[in-house]
């Protein structure tokens, strides 16, 4: 069904919000068309206008197409500032939600965002973005599952920060990480890692 009730201006706004919510996974023009209930050509036109708007307005974000999916991303010229953020103290600057996500990735890698959300029971796209921007996790490739979602794993910075030689040096969790025990297990894990780092 072609949703002609949305003006092109409104369509741009909806697409911008959808790309923000989609995070690193991004959305293809056909997915956007399905979500917005309009023709793919109209979506592509709106995306092109949105890209021009970001460029002309000297914004800190851009809309880029990677592997057939559109994503909201930062500008490469701003990378030095993001590197400063990445090397800021870890636990003082990320939320409990991000620490829980990091614990899941550390123990279950490689893992997709959907699998993380199944364990946490809540959306985790913002936590994944935060951990990626801080250099604690990275993309390891794509799953063979439907839609080929991104697989995430920890980085060398994660190992360096906690004084680990490999993920094999992670302390054994007391129980299997799940939604009911995640908060407690995450606190125990990072307490153990901090204690190990200062030995």
Q: Tens digit of pLDDT for each residue in 88-132?
A: 555 456 788 888 899 899 989 999 999 999 988 888 888 998 899
Q: How confident is the model at residue 177 (pLDDT cuts 50, 70, 90)?
A: low
How far apart CA 81 and CA 2 sit, in angstroms, is 42
One domain, residues 103 and 158? yes
**CA-CA-CA-CA torsion for 43, 147, 113, 47, nearest 10 degrees?**
-10
Please check whether residues 35 and 101 belong to one and the same domain: no
* Same structural domain, 93 and 135: yes
Range of the domain at 101: 81-197
Q: Are residues 113 and 20 in the same domain?
A: no
105 and 182 share one domain: yes
Residues constituting the chain = 199
Number of domains in the chain: 2
24 inside domain: yes
Query: Which of the listed residues 16, 48, 74 is the one where a domain comes to its end?
Result: 74
Q: For position 94, which CATH number holds? A: 1.10.10.10
Same domain membership, residue 150 and residue 102 = yes
Q: Note whether 151 and 109 are same-domain residues.
A: yes
Mean pLDDT of all residues in 193-199? 63
Q: Are residues 187 and 120 in the same domain?
A: yes
Write out pLDDT tens, residues 44-82: 999 999 999 998 878 899 999 988 899 988 888 887 777
Last residue of a domain, one of 19, 48, 74: 74
3-state SS class at 176: coil
For the chain, what is the mean pLDDT? 83
Place of tokens 């129980």: 175
Q: Are residues 13 and 63 in the same domain?
A: yes
pLDDT at 197 over 80: no
Does 96 map to a domain? Answer: yes
Q: Do 69 and 91 belong to one domain?
A: no
The answer to the question of residue 101 being in a domain is yes
Residues 191, 103 share a domain: yes
List, for residues 12-52, the tens digit of each pLDDT value.
999 999 998 888 788 999 999 999 999 999 999 999 999 99
């Amino acid at each position: 069904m072609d949703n002609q009730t949305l003006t092109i201006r409104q369509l741009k706004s909806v697409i911008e919000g959808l790309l923000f919510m989609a995070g690193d996974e991004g959305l293809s023009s056909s997915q956007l068309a399905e979500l917005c209930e309009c023709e793919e050509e109209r979506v592509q036109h709106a995306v092109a206008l949105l890209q021009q708007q970001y460029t002309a307005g000297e914004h800190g974000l851009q809309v880029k197409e990677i592997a057939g999916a559109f994503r909201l991303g930062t500008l490469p010229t701003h990378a030095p500032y993001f590197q400063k953020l990445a090397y800021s103290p870890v636990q003082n600057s990320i939320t409990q939600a991000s620490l829980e996500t990091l614990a899941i990735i550390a123990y279950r890698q490689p893992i997709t965002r959907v699998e993380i959300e199944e364990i946490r029971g809540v959306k985790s796209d913002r936590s994944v973005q935060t951990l990626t921007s801080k250099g604690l996790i990275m993309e390891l490739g794509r799953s063979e599952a439907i839609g080929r979602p991104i697989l995430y794993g920890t980085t060398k910075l994660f190992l360096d920060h906690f004084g680990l030689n490999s993920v094999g040096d992670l302390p054994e969790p007391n129980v299997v990480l799940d939604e009911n025990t995640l908060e407690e297990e995450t606190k125990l894990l990072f307490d153990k890692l901090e204690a190990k780092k200062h030995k």
